[in-house]
Chain A
Amino acid sequence: GAVVSQHPSWVICKSGTSVKIECRSLDFQATTMFWYRQFPKQSLMLMATSNEGSKATYEQGVEKDKFLINHASLTLSTLTVTSAHPEDSSFYICSARVIGGRIRGSTDTQYFGPGTRLTVL
C-alpha cells in the first residue's frame, strides 16, 4: 500500500513554455499532498502544501503564479511550471499524506512519488 506515482518521470521543454506534472495516490486518498524541489546532492526543499478542494499554501520565496498547484480530487494533485526558464530545471518530488489507520502501519506518514526531472532548454 501507500503508492504514489508521478507523471512524467522526465520532461524537456523550451524556455517560455509551461509544463504540468501530475502526482497521484494510487491506493489511498490523500487530502494533503506536498511538492518539493531537489537540486543535485542537496536536500528536499518544500515548495507548497496542496490541500484537496482549497488553495495551496506556498512556502516563503516560492512564486505561486510561477508554480501553479491544483488538487481537484483526493487522488490527484498537479504542479504546473508556467513560463519555464532554465533556472527552473530541477528534480520535483511530490508526497502524499496518509492519515493514520487507512493503510496498515502508516500512521500519518508522507509517502513520496518517484520524482520528475525537468530540464528547460
Chain B
Amino acid sequence: AQTVTQSQPEMSVQEAETVTLSCTYDTSESDYYLFWYKQPPSRQMILVIRQEAYKQQNATENRFSVNFQKAAKSFSLKISDSQLGDAAMYFCAYRRNTGGGNKLTFGTGTQLKVEL
C-alpha cells in the first residue's frame, strides 16, 4: 500500500521569506501523480500544485514550486515570498495513474504559520 509521510507537524516562516515543506512517499508504482493541497482555516481544500511522475521537470505555480526526486521518493514544496494568506495546513497527496480507483492518499499535514 502507498503511504505518504510529512515529518513536520508545524513550520513557521517570516513574511516575505522562503519555506520548504517536506513530503516523502512509498510506492512500487512508476506512473503516478503527486499533489500539494492547502487547507486554510475555512477548511476548503485548495489545490496548490501537481506533479506527474513521468515528468522530470519540477512543477511551478507562481510562488510555489516543488523539488521532485523520484528515486528518493521525495516531493517537497517551496513557498517563496511567503504571505500571510499562505498560513494554512498543507497536505501532500499521492495518486496512482492507473488502477487504484483514482484514490488520493494524504499525508498527515504540516501546519504553516506566517509571522510578521
Which residues of A come within 8 Å of B, CB atoms? 32, 34, 38, 42-44, 46, 49, 57, 91, 93, 95, 97, 107-112, 114-115
Contact = CB atoms under 8 A, between A and B. Distances in A.
Given A107-B50, A109-B50, A46 B104 contact: yes
A55 B46 CA distance: 28
B104 A91 contact: no
Contacts of A38: 43
A49 B101 contact: yes
Given A43-B109, A44-B91, A114-B42, A109 B47 contact: yes
Q: Is the interface of A mostly helix, strand, loop or mixed?
A: strand
Nearest to B4: A43
Contacts, number: 46
Contact of B102 (A93, A97, A112, A114): A97
A118 to B, nearest CB: 13
Q: Is the interface of B mostly helix, strand, loop or mixed?
A: mixed
Contact of A93 (B45, B103, B109): B45
Interface residues of B, number: 20
Contacts of A95: 45, 104
A38 B106 CA distance: 12
25 contacts: A32-B102, A34-B103, A34-B104, A38-B43, A42-B109, A43-B108, A44-B45, A44-B91, A46-B104, A49-B101, A91-B43, A93-B45, A95-B45, A97-B102, A107-B50, A108-B33, A109-B47, A110-B102, A111-B47, A112-B44, A112-B46, A114-B42, A114-B43, A115-B43, A115-B44
A42 B108 contact: yes
A46 B103 contact: yes
A19 B47 CA distance: 28
A121 to B, nearest CB: 21
B101 A57 contact: yes
